[in-house]
Amino acid sequence: MKFYDYLIVGAGLFGATFAYMAKRQGKSCLVIDKRPHLGGNIYCENIEGINVHTYGAHIFHTSNKEVWDFVNSIVEFNRYTNSPVANYKGKLYNLPFNMNTFYQMWGTRTPEEARRKIEEQKREAVEAMKAAGVEEPRNLEEQAISLIGKDIYEKLIKGYTEKQWGRKCTELPAFIIKRLPVRLTFDNNYFNDKYQGIPIGGYNKLIDGLLEDVESRCNTDFFTDREHFESIADKIVFTGKIDEYYHYRFGKLEYRTVRFETEVLDCENYQGNAVINYTEQEVPYTRIIEHKHFEFGQQSKTVISREYSSEWKEGSEPFYPVNDDKNSALYAQYRELANQEPNVIFGGRLAEYKYYDMHQIIAAVFNKYFS
Ligand X SMILES: Cc1cc2nc3c(=O)[nH]c(=O)nc-3n(C[C@H](O)[C@H](O)[C@H](O)COP(=O)(O)OP(=O)(O)OC[C@H]3O[C@@H](n4cnc5c(N)ncnc54)[C@H](O)[C@@H]3O)c2cc1C
Asked if 239 is part of the footprint of ligand X (rule: CB under 6 A), the reply reads: yes
Is the CB of 50 or the CB of 67 nearer to ligand X? 67
221, 252, 337, 369: which one binds ligand X (CB under 6 A): 221
CA distance 287 to 133: 37
Asked if 59 is part of the footprint of ligand X (rule: CB under 6 A), the reply reads: yes
Active site residue 357: yes
The arrangement of strands across the sheet holding 233-238 comes to: 215-217, 29-32, 4-9, 233-238, 344-346
Is the CB of 125 or the CB of 258 nearer to ligand X? 258
Q: What is the DSSP string of 197-248?
A: E-BTT-HHHHHHHHTTT-EEESS--GGGGHHHHHTSEEEEEE-S-HHHHTTT
Give, as ranges, the residues between 346 and 365 that touch ligand X (CB under 6 A): 348-350, 356-359, 361
Is the CB of 57 or the CB of 125 nearer to ligand X? 57
Look up residue 334 and give its DSSP letter.
Answer: H
Tell me the three state secondary structure of residue 320: strand
Asked if 96 is part of the footprint of ligand X (rule: CB under 6 A), the reply reads: no
Asked if 204 is part of the footprint of ligand X (rule: CB under 6 A), the reply reads: no
Is the CB of 90 or the CB of 313 nearer to ligand X? 313
Asked if 44 is part of the footprint of ligand X (rule: CB under 6 A), the reply reads: no
Amino acid letter, 356: Y
> Taking the alpha carbons of 101, 106, 109, 110 in that order, is the dihedral positive or negative?
negative
Q: Are 246 and 337 in contact (CB under 8 A)?
A: yes
Cα–Cα distances (Å) from 369 to 31, 64, 233, 343, in that order, read 17, 17, 17, 13
The distance of closest approach from Cβ of residue 216 to ligand X in the complex, given in angstroms and rounded to an integer, is 11
41, 146, 277, 279: which one binds ligand X (CB under 6 A): 41
- CA 231, distance to chain mean position in Å, is 34
Q: Are 240 and 32 in contact (CB under 8 A)?
A: no
Asked if 202 is part of the footprint of ligand X (rule: CB under 6 A), the reply reads: no
Q: Which of 179, 213, 282, 325 is catalytic?
A: 179
80, 195, 319, 353: which one binds ligand X (CB under 6 A): 319
**Taking contact as CB under 6 A, which single stretch among the options 35-43, 90-98, 136-144, 325-333 is the one that binds ligand X?**
35-43
Active site residue 116: no
Q: Are 291 and 80 in contact (CB under 8 A)?
A: no
Active site residue 226: no
Asked if 15 is part of the footprint of ligand X (rule: CB under 6 A), the reply reads: yes
Q: How many CB atoms lie within 10 A of CB 1?
A: 5
Active site residue 255: no
* Catalytic positions, written as ranges: 179, 183, 256, 287, 307, 355, 357
User: Could you list the residues that contact ligand X (CB under 6 A)?
Assistant: 9-15, 32-35, 40-42, 56-60, 221-223, 239-240, 258, 319, 348-350, 356-359, 361
